[in-house]
Amino acid sequence: MISGVDSIYARIRSIYDRINEIQRNISSINSTYNINSIKKTHTYEINQKNSTLPNKTFQEVLQEVMLESRTPEEKNNINIISKPEETWKEVLNIDTKENKFDKIIDEASSKFGVPRELIKAVIKAESNFNPIAISPKNAMGLMQLIPSTAKEMGVEDVFDPYQNIIGGTKYLKMLLDRYNGNLFLALSAYNAGPDRVDKTGGIPNIEETQNYVDRVLKFYKEYSQKSK
């Protein structure tokens, strides 16, 4: 039986996947249609095979998607999109500005003794500061925690920036301690899991993991230089 939390995660993932599908379809349309300023009168001819998006305006499609997550009572009293020119980030209330989470990052850094620049680098590599990011492997939020890790770190709401950053930093600190401060191994374990790192005794021969470690270290260096 799926637990209540898992059911919510699954539902969020389903809606998020559909939003991504809509974004991909809209991106493929003639470049004269600007997603940041699409007018209500615009309709789209989507000819993709098995497409479930008939001729509808951007607003109508997004309204339909967002309504799916509401109760019948909420559906009768909802007006998700009020202006034709609203963007995706405005509609979904997403703020991906890097400095928006600085206070939380500072607290997590002080609490666990992990450099703030490293925490920020991991967030940049994991979600690009998108608090509702969901990966194909069901990792969620700013620091891309999978449900089991989130539960282990005491995170109840992975999409809450505070809980996600505190939980993600706690996990990162555990990995750093596990590998005696070896940043390469800790980051590899964060991406691929500690079991794979322990089995190989080093960075796993996985292209995704190797690229991930390189990206985090690159961002870590950039943030460290900025803070000087």
Domain boundaries, the chain: 4-92, 98-226
Lowest mean pLDDT among 29-33, 128-132, 155-159: 29-33
Distance of CA 20 to the CA centre of its chain: 12
Q: CA separation (Å) from 37 to 41, 43, 59, 90?
A: 12, 13, 11, 12
Q: CA separation (Å) from 124 to 85, 120, 139, 169, 204?
A: 28, 6, 15, 13, 22
Look at 67 and 83; give whichever has higher pLDDT.
Answer: 67
What pLDDT score does 10 carry?
59
- Per-residue pLDDT band for 99 (boundaries 50, 70, 90) equals confident
**156 flagged as catalytic:** no
Paired residues of 126 in beta bridges = none
Distance of CA 217 to the CA centre of its chain: 20
Q: For 6, which DSSP code?
A: H
pLDDT above 90 for 85: no
- Per-residue pLDDT band for 17 (boundaries 50, 70, 90) equals low
Q: Determine the Cα–Cα distance for residues 9 and 145; give it in Å rounded to an integer.
A: 12
- Per-residue pLDDT band for 80 (boundaries 50, 70, 90) equals very low
- Per-residue pLDDT band for 21 (boundaries 50, 70, 90) equals low
Residue with tokens 């992975």: 158
Q: Determine the Cα–Cα distance for residues 18 and 103; give it in Å rounded to an integer.
A: 32
- Per-residue pLDDT band for 212 (boundaries 50, 70, 90) equals very high
SS3 83: coil
Q: Which of 126, 156, 207, 208 is catalytic?
A: 126
What pLDDT score does 81 carry?
38
pLDDT above 60 for 59: no
Percent of the chain with pLDDT over 90: 53
Question: What is the assigned CATH class of domain 98-226?
Answer: mainly alpha
Look at 51 and 125; give whichever has higher pLDDT.
Answer: 125
pLDDT tens sequence across 172-209: 999 999 999 999 999 999 999 999 999 999 999 999 99
Look at 84 and 122; give whichever has higher pLDDT.
Answer: 122
